[in-house]
Structure 1
Amino acid sequence: MKTSAFTAADVAASVLAVPPLARHADLSLNVAANQALIAHMQAGGIKTLIYGGNANFYHVGMGEYAAILDMLAQCAGADTWMVPSAGPDYGKLMDQAAVLRDYGFPTVMVMPYRGVASADGIATGVRRFAERLGKPVLLYIKDEDYLPVETVGAMMDEGCVGLVKYAVIRQQPAQDEYLRALAARVDPRLIVSGIGERPAIDHLRAFGLGSFTTGSGTIAPSASMALLRAIQAGDWQGAQALRQRFLPLEDIRDAHGPIAVLHDAVTLSGIAPMGPMLPMLSNTDPSLAASLRSAACGLLEQERAAA
């Protein structure tokens, strides 16, 4: 596992995969399945893995947290940045920080908290978590009113936030005044588009963001990496064609829940069995299996054909 701190060049070097987490029927960790999925992503060229929402870190308890961290550290390749998540509530953040200090993860993503909270309170919580962790964190923004732009900028100036994952959904991704203001306030190369392939072209082209996260790229990692390279080269026609490969699966994720659909898509693709989802989430309805298998296997077949 690579443990050095992120730089803008590191962000641009890879898409940031956000894979699901495999479990056995009794909800214990399925190490072999997780290893298989990680190996598949690494073989496709992805060198940064974030275990967060798609891995249902929202509901991971302290009792298994260290075991998950151990597994992630052991499964990462020598040149792979592995990024676990913490939170989202303040109590869990602080408890997890004490555990995380014993590991060499380059940063930790702070899960966005959407419960009883205020912007000032969230900022204070993130600052205290970063202080206890002893390194800058990856801040995840999913709502426009989560934190003011100036607050985010101040936290990056202070060094408690090193990267931002931006995932506010817009009908027109290139028309986003919050993101425009944020990209003007901080180095946009340290902001990552956080909603997969669909808005990636607009986000990187219009705002100069450093890279993008991918869920479906856990199935087709080399295609997701090719999309990043096409964007960076200004090959907009090639980028559009590559993005089109992901839309059948992304359409199902948007319609039926991005986390559960991706979890089961990896299983149905045959890459690795993800098993049941950790409550409070649940697997997709069985009636969705045929269309989901078609989309997942179609994406994987294009990946293998291109290789």
Structure 2
Amino acid sequence: MTPQTSDRFTDLGRLVVRCPDRPGIVAVLSRLLADAGANIVESQQHSSDPEGGTFTLRLEFVLHGLAVRRHQLEGALGLLAGQWGMTWRLTEAVHKPRLAVFVSRTDHVLQELLYRVGSGDLRAEIAAVVSNHPDLEPVARAHGVPFHHLPVTPETKDAAEAKALDLIGDVDLVVLARYMQVVSADFCSRFPERLINIHHSFLPAFVGANPYQAAHDRGVKLIGATAHYVTPELDAGPIIEQEVARIDHRATVEDMRRVGRYVERQVLAQAVTWHVEDRVVVEGHRTIVFA
């Protein structure tokens, strides 16, 4: 299911830092890594306001023996955090986050994720596929991924969610890949900033069971998709990625659905990739994405 680990990831680290913006932050962090013998290979930063705003920095670095020396780095970062008011996250690129993918009956987004994981384009492991319908079991099984069928009705929703939590365990990320159920606030709370959803971008204008027909009837010229973190407020979580494709008057409803499937595949796969590469930082109701 997953390719062999590439040597180039073995000693590659990622550091994401947030703190009040003031002079000297980059110099201090660069010196810390240099003193440890690390070589910075990528650096991106953002300030919400140079005068008293919040500074966000993402660094990738190579440090030989990172797995062994990580504790040393964490200790130094802990000392800096107290001095500079920092929050920070240090990860090793060699680690492959474990994903649980929730689906219903449509397979296009799941297929994209399975392909990218299998090809090595998405450095992650799909630990389980969970569905309220049995339709996509052959797809998951063909890729060697455990499939769990958990029917959901209004009467069984709480029990089904509890069972799902037992099945997926301590995964790093949950992906709602066209899962046609609204997850509860309690479920969201188990995966803060670790629960990603995809939906078409006709909302809020065209709701209901057949938004493509409604969009076609109104002569819509753009088909789009939005990937976002899930919060208890329906479809209102911080947006990670969006994309659109243009159509014209010749497009049938099925043409629109086909374009929509293509855009949804690309948008969700990109959002998941950025997340597992520590490129997404939530800032209130929005995100900073170091693409």
TM-score norm. by structure 2 comes to 0.30
Query: Comparing both structures, which one devotes a greater share of its residues to strand?
Result: 2
Name the structure, 1 or 2, with higher relative contact order (CA <8 Å, separation 6+): 1
Query: Comparing both structures, which one devotes a greater share of its residues to helix?
Result: 1
TM-score norm. by structure 1 comes to 0.29
Larger radius of gyration: 2
